[in-house]
Amino acid sequence: MRHEEPPKKIGRYSPQSHLATGGMGRVFLALDPEGRTVAVKQLHPGIAHESGMRERLRREVEVMRRIRSARVAELVDADMEADPPYIVTRYVQGRTLHSLVDEEGPLRGDALLRMAYGIAEALVAIHDAGHVHRDLKPSNVMVAGGEPVVIDFGIAREHDATRLTHEGAAIGTVGYIPPEVLEGAVAGPPADVFAWGATVAYAATGRPAFGTGGMQAVALRAYRGAADLDGVPGEFRQLLTAALAPRADVRPDARTLVRALSDHPAGFTMDPAAVDPVPAPGSGAATPGTEPVRPGRRRALAIGAGAAAAAVLVSGSLLVGRFGARADPPQASPSLSPVAAPSRPSYQATVANGQAGQKLMDFLADNAGKKVLFFAPLDAGITPYAGGGEPFDSFGKNDMALFTFWPECRENLDPGEQPTSLKCEGVQVTILGEQPARVGLQYTNGFYRVQGNFEVSADGTHQGIHAFTLKPVEAA
């Protein structure tokens, strides 16, 4: 969590400390004019004036006004005309479920039953109001007196409000997002049930239900229905397996969860189809259990002025294969793309160094002067910068974004040595247009991705760095 100095005033509220920062806004603990504590969520200044953002927050307010449940942090106030706009909710004094389990270990017995039941009750209230939370996870569940309260409706919306988010974006947290949403479907109540199952599994085991590792590896386990439920008490097994079913149509609804938990969870009988996997995009290239190469420690590297004085971060553990014989070459992770590729050429794989970088360089060279579709996450070892080499502001606005990767090194690198154009072949990609943009470089759930339709231009080679420019042409 990135801590920020709170402003002196937000409307009539006095911020006391910074609580959290997310993709849409930042949250502060504040005092109202009567001295009572509240949580104030303020839209990021950098996106407050983007098309649709204020309307999106306005709909969030409408969501919260219609939901009446002690299991959901209720709305206190809102000002959509402020600059930037903000909303105020009840401040829940307690710890998140994630912190509770992390510090004290998995829940057992009555504590686990109360947690599972309470979160399911919150979903009933949300769904009965005609809405979907879409980002249920342990860090969005506060625990007060052993009882759960669901918070953060930052991306909640009405079922039919399909135009409020960027097209092609799967919003939520990987490991809590079901396969249908990863494929680009509108999140409905079954998506919240899936997240409920993953959240309760974490509460019962202290581990993410679909493990850790790269985003693609975690998501592929969700497609296969490969939830890790070791350590979950036996009476909860079938209910959680059903909630985590890859197919949305066989998951129980929230009311069924409440009934099962209030009666006897061990008596719940799941649909046998709950264990059937669904096809994953790009999964044909992967074998079960395949893990993406994990990035090593990030290190800063400044490349020469001939490459626009861009600074890039690279990962030593990725510089293998063509970079030397110190390790196995990196494998390109299967792509997870909720964007349906049009007839134009498309690139839907992770942007990384080594062999994956060679693949992208060849794609750019082959399609110079053409329009292409991208849905490509940046590997953790590749960090974008703004024009001029300044750090890229994922919440603000930049005139452009650029990043550099290294497909091949002509000479073996010494231990600890970072690649430069003296020994390695590099590629710099510049994305034009005000960033972050609807088409361009986006930041979601802790990772960057290049998304949209672009026209590719090859800008030549200087000092071993091949330069390409992506110019957005229309929304993906």
113 vs 474, which has greater pLDDT?
113
Give the mean pLDDT of 160-181. Answer: 59
pLDDT for the residue numbered 252 = 96
Contacts 24+ apart (CB under 8 A), 20-27: 21/395, 22/152, 22/154, 23/154, 23/155, 23/443, 23/444, 23/445, 24/53, 24/56, 24/57, 24/154, 24/155, 25/57, 25/86, 25/154
Res 439 pLDDT > 70: no
Q: Which of 135, 116, 60 is nearest to 446 (CA)?
A: 135
Give the range among 120-129, 341-350, 368-377 with minimum mean pLDDT: 341-350
Q: Which of 83, 135, 366, 393 is catalytic?
A: 135
pLDDT digits (tens, 9 = 90+) for 284-295: 333 233 233 222
Give the range among 159-168, 363-372, 383-392 with minimum mean pLDDT: 159-168
Reported as a pLDDT band with limits 50, 70 and 90, residue 324 is very low
CB 429 within 8 Å of CB 403: yes
Give the mean pLDDT of 158-179. Answer: 54
pLDDT for the residue numbered 161 = 31
Q: How far apart are CA 415 and CA 269, in angstroms?
A: 56
CB 406 within 8 Å of CB 400: no
Res 461 pLDDT > 80: no
pLDDT for the residue numbered 2 = 47
pLDDT digits (tens, 9 = 90+) for 128-138: 988 888 889 99
206 vs 385, which has greater pLDDT?
206
pLDDT for the residue numbered 116 = 97
Give the mean pLDDT of 23-45. Answer: 84
Reported as a pLDDT band with limits 50, 70 and 90, residue 197 is very high
CB 124 within 8 Å of CB 113: no
Res 319 pLDDT > 50: no
Give the range among 343-352, 410-419, 446-455 with minimum mean pLDDT: 410-419
299 vs 120, which has greater pLDDT?
120
Reported as a pLDDT band with limits 50, 70 and 90, residue 172 is low
Res 6 pLDDT > 60: yes
Secondary structure (DSSP) of 263-298: H-GGG----GGGG---PPTTGGG--TT--PPPP--E
Task: Give the rounded percent of residues in the chain with a pLDDT score beyond 70.
Answer: 75
**Angle of helix 254-263 relative to helix 234-243, nearest 10 degrees?**
170
Give the mean pLDDT of 136-142. Answer: 93
pLDDT for the residue numbered 156 = 37
Q: How far apart are CA 217 and CA 160, in angstroms?
A: 30
pLDDT for the residue numbered 354 = 87
Give the range among 22-36, 163-177, 397-411 with minimum mean pLDDT: 163-177
pLDDT for the residue numbered 22 = 61
333 vs 151, which has greater pLDDT?
151
Q: What's the token pair of residue 425?
A: 């072949």
Res 167 pLDDT > 50: no
397 vs 410, which has greater pLDDT?
410
Give the mean pLDDT of 114-126. Answer: 95
Residues 6+ apart with CB under 8 A from 40: 10, 13, 15, 27, 28, 29, 30, 86, 87, 88
57 vs 293, which has greater pLDDT?
57
Give the mean pLDDT of 353-375. Answer: 90
Domains of the chain: 14-90 (3.30.200.20), 95-285 (1.10.510.10), 298-474 (no CATH)
Residue 135 is a catalytic residue = yes
pLDDT for the residue numbered 31 = 93
Mean pLDDT for all residues in the chain: 76
pLDDT for the residue numbered 397 = 66
pLDDT digits (tens, 9 = 90+) for 256-277: 999 999 988 888 888 888 888 8
pLDDT for the residue numbered 171 = 55
Res 241 pLDDT > 90: yes
pLDDT for the residue numbered 337 = 35
Res 447 pLDDT > 50: yes
Cα 93–Cα 94–Cα 97 angle in degrees, nearest 5: 140
pLDDT for the residue numbered 64 = 76
Res 239 pLDDT > 80: yes
pLDDT digits (tens, 9 = 90+) for 67-79: 888 899 888 898 9
